[in-house]
Chain A
Amino acid sequence: MNQRRVELTLTVNGQRHEVAVEPRKTLADTLREDCGLTGTHLGCEHGVCGACTVLVDDEPVRSCLMFAVQCGGQAIRTVEGLADGERLHPIQQAFWEHHGLQCGFCTPGFLMLATSVLESRPDIGDEELREVLASNLCRCTGYQNIITSVHAARDQMRS
């Protein structure tokens, strides 16, 4: 069995990372272990919980269901890329202000999912937003405040 590592360049939050990974290594594990970006969390590892959601070419993907070798040449964004220095991204600020997190485990996934949908569809309605947010699981069951936070971020980002 060939377990040779493959050398590739990943562009994460605008920075280039030269990594050498086995083809079977998921994007999630590569981000955490090879790029040192542990903000991306791994929950279920089979595409159900959404904790590992990152953006690939600005679209939300579950990074436990993608291999790093599939991602060469694409722009990857993780939770580490949201804030501008000390200044939080509007979505982070909204989660802070509206208690959108309890234990915080699901938060990076929700932040990236919400960021992607608010960037691509700033006028998305409440009902559809609810459907989108149903993609991810919060083990604290704090959904109501997550929804409130994303609504607040949507209004903030639009204004």
Chain B
Amino acid sequence: MKPAAFEYHAPRTLEEALGLLHEHQDEAKVLAGGQSLVPAMNFRLARPSVLVDIAHLPDLDRIEATEPGSVTVGARVRHLDLEHNTIGGPLGSLFALTGRWVGHYPIRVRGTFGGSLAHADPAAEWCALACALDAEIHCRSASGSRSVGAGDFFEQMAFTTCLEPDELLVGVRLPELSDSCGVGMAEFARRWGDFAIVLAVTAVERDGDSIAGARIALGGVAGGPVRASNAEAALAGRPATAGTVAAAAAAAAEEVDPTGDIHGSADYRRDLVRAMVTRALDQALK
């Protein structure tokens, strides 16, 4: 239970960090909160020969309204900071609702938003949130920068993203949600703080008594986070009633194709999708 030896770098500037990643390519790993990477290193499932610690890079720990209508979350913003954010509005509520499901309190003290996305655990709360809101993920390398939509960022294979070995995820842009938007998050895990077996993140735009549009993302049912687009379609333009919610939840259970594992069979997960989508939508429509 001891990690293999590695060279440790704690760069003070972004340029220096990107230079190190460029130099060492896939020999290097980025260390942020270390709450997923270090366990993998302790088990020697990961054996990077170089660690680039981004703890001292300036400006990556901010939550900012960089332009009207959107919020940019720096890569190193911690789970705890999102849980107790001061953004306000439905987006702030969704961060708070979702944050408290991420691991345990001491994990949330260290673990980071960007780290969670780059790690891309199929059952990760933030990955589902990024997927639901069509987040734009900002990546930098020594040779340039690019922004990738969440839909393209997560590959449908566990722990796999489109990040190149020399790229650093620096921030994530999320759209502000309008005040007529309700948000919901539901998760099922065997014990408090465990990885989700299934989770659902929702944002529902209200138009009086009916639903203008909805976003639903699921975790734990595929290699990466997925949108329940049939369920979203089953909500758009419909009255905000229990019957509509039930129909959408049934559509979500129908459209996923989960695989069974030691934590639950495919059928069990499908049933959990129905239950979690129902709970998350009920919360969003409250």
Q: Given the interface contacts A60-B105, A135-B193, does A24 sit within 8 Å of B5 by beta carbon?
A: yes
Chain A residues, Cβ within 8 Å of B100: 131
Which residues of chain A from 25 to 61 have a CB within 8 Å of any chain B CB? 26, 29, 45-47, 50, 53, 59-61
In the complex formed, the residue of A with least CB distance to B78 is: A59
Interface residues on A, range: 20 to 34
Report if A47-B38 is in contact (Cβ < 8 Å); known contacts: A59-B109, A60-B106, A135-B193.
yes
Q: How far is the CB of B81 from chain A (nearest CB, A)?
A: 12
Say yes or no: B192 contacts A24, CB within 8 Å: no
16 CB-based A-B contacts, threshold 8 Å: A22-B5, A24-B4, A26-B3, A46-B43, A47-B35, A47-B38, A53-B106, A60-B105, A60-B109, A66-B38, A67-B8, A67-B34, A70-B31, A117-B105, A135-B106, A135-B107
* Residue from B1, B51, B109, B191 within 8 A of A23 (CB atoms): B51
Indicate if B89 sits at the interface (CB-CB under 8 A): no
Encode B83-125 as 1/0 by CB contact (under 8 A) with A. Answer: 0000000000000000010001111011000000000000000
Residues of A within 8 A of B190 (CB): none
Contacts A2-B7, A24-B5, A46-B43: A66 and B34 contacting too (C-beta < 8 A)?
Answer: yes
> Given the complex, which residues of B lie within 8 Å of A6, measured CB to CB?
8
Q: How far is the CB of A75 from chain B (nearest CB, A)?
A: 14
Additional A-B contacts beyond A29-B2, A65-B38 (7; CB < 8 A):
A59-B109, A62-B35, A67-B8, A69-B8, A113-B106, A135-B105, A135-B107
CB distance from A20 to the nearest CB of B (A): 14
* Residues of chain B within 8 A of A26, CB atoms compared: 2-3, 38, 42
**Interface contact A46-B42, CB-CB below 8 Å:** yes
| CB–CB B191/A134 < 8 A | yes
Please give me the 9 A-B residue pairs with the lowest Cβ-Cβ distance, nearest first.
Answer: A135-B104, A23-B8, A45-B1, A46-B39, A65-B38, A60-B106, A134-B192, A24-B3, A59-B109
Complex-state Cα separation, A6 to B2, whole angstroms:
17
Shortest CB-to-CB span from A108 to chain B, Å, is 13
Is residue A10 within 8 Å, beta carbon to beta carbon, of the partner chain?
no
Q: Which residues of A contact B106 (CB under 8 A)?
A: 50, 53, 59-62, 113, 135
Identify the closest chain A residue to B53 (Cβ). A70
CA distance A29 to B42 in the complex (A): 12
Instruction: Tell me which residues across on chain A come within 8 A of B3, comparing CB atoms.
Output: 24, 26
Between B5, B31, B100, B104, the greatest number of chain A beta carbons within 10 A of the residue's beta carbon is seen for: B104
Whether A23 pairs with B7 at a CB distance below 8 angstroms is yes
User: Which residue in chain A gives the minimum CB-CB distance to B104?
Assistant: A135
Proximity bits, A1-27, B CB within 8 Å = 1, else 0? 111001000000000000000111010
Chain A residues near B39 (CB-CB < 8 A): 46-47, 65
A91-105 Cβ-contact flags toward B at 8 Å (1 or 0): 000000000000000
Shortest CB distance A138–B (Å): 13
A132 at the interface (CB under 8 A from B): yes
Q: Provide the residues of chain A in CB contact with B191, threshold 8 Å.
A: 134
**With an 8 A cutoff between CB atoms, is B55 at the interface?**
yes
Bound together, the chains give a CA A61 to CA B193 distance in angstroms of 15
Residue in chain B with minimal CB distance to A137 = B191
Which residues of chain A are near B34, meaning CB under 8 Å? 65-67, 70
**Residue from A3, A47, A70 having most chain B Cβ neighbours under 10 A:** A47
A64: interface (CB < 8 Å): yes
Inter-chain contacts of B7 with A (CB < 8 A): 2, 23
B122 to chain A, nearest CB (A): 19
Q: For B105, what are the chain A residues with a Cβ–Cβ distance below 8 Å?
A: 60, 113, 117, 131-132, 135
Query: Is A1 a contact of B42 with CB atoms below 8 Å?
Result: no
Q: How far is the CB of B12 from chain A (nearest CB, A)?
A: 13
Give the chain B neighbours of A134 by CB distance below 8 A: 104, 191-193
Q: Which residues of B contact A66 (CB under 8 A)?
A: 34, 38, 110
B8, B35, B105, B110 interface centre (most CB from chain A within 10 Å): B105
Say whether B49 faces chain A, with CB atoms less than 8 Å apart. yes
Give Cα A17 to B110, complex, Å.
23
